[in-house]
């Protein structure tokens, strides 16, 4: 049985027709292919390059500088990207994914006091989202329903 898959990956791409892609690669246009076909030169994080027809490319990829869903933003957070909403009023705000400490980390004095533990005891913490606030401070963060349904998420460099 053939399974269905969905993927999320960050790529670099630029518009390039089939003919220009073949020139770029130093190839001849195969018989029966139209050099004017619109598409994109696609560069993957491992350096692999390929060409994708425009329709298939635009069905699979969204510009991460022009608004994404929270679902896509969450997948990118888990891959180490910083994300923010274009609709946020605060400058410099962004969210990151914290992997937590599932095996524990020794408690510092403040954490030990807050949790009635001994300093140095192992403190186990599940993954969470953290936001950088306008004033430069950081907080744990839970998205609002507006954040979850918004389509103005962008990757922060």
pLDDT in tens, the chain (157 residues): 999 887 778 899 999 999 999 999 999 998 999 999 999 999 999 999 999 999 999 988 888 777 899 999 999 999 999 999 998 988 899 999 999 999 999 999 999 999 999 999 999 999 999 999 999 999 999 999 999 999 999 999 8
What pTM was estimated for this model as a whole? 0.71
The answer for residues whose C-beta is within 8 angstroms of residue 11's C-beta and 6 or more apart is 42, 43, 44, 45, 61
- Whether the CB-CB separation of 123 and 101 falls below 8 Å is answered with yes
- How is the chain split into domains, by residue range? 12-60, 70-156
State the SS3 of 11-52: CEEEECCHHHHHHHHCCCCCCCCCCCCCEEEEECCCCCEEEE
Exposure string of 16-50, with b = 16+ CB inside 10 Å and e = fewer, is bbbeebbeeeeeeeeeeeeeeeebbbbeeeeeeee
């Amino acid at each position: 049985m053939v399974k269905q898959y969905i993927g999320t990956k960050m790529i670099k791409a630029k518009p390039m027709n089939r003919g220009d892609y073949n020139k770029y690669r130093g190839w001849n246009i195969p018989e029966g292919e139209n050099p004017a076909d619109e598409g994109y030169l696609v560069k993957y994080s491992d350096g692999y390059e390929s060409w994708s027809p425009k329709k298939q490319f635009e069905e699979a990829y969204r510009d991460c500088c022009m608004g994404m869903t929270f679902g896509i933003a969450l997948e990118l957070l888990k891959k180490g990207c910083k994300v923010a909403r274009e609709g946020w009023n605060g400058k410099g705000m962004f969210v990151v994914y914290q992997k937590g400490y599932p095996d524990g980390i020794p408690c510092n004095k403040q954490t030990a006091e807050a949790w009635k533990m001994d300093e140095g005891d192992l403190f186990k913490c599940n993954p969470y989202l953290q936001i950088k606030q306008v004033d430069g401070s950081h907080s744990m963060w839970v998205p609002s329903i507006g954040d979850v349904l918004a389509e103005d998420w962008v990757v922060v460099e």
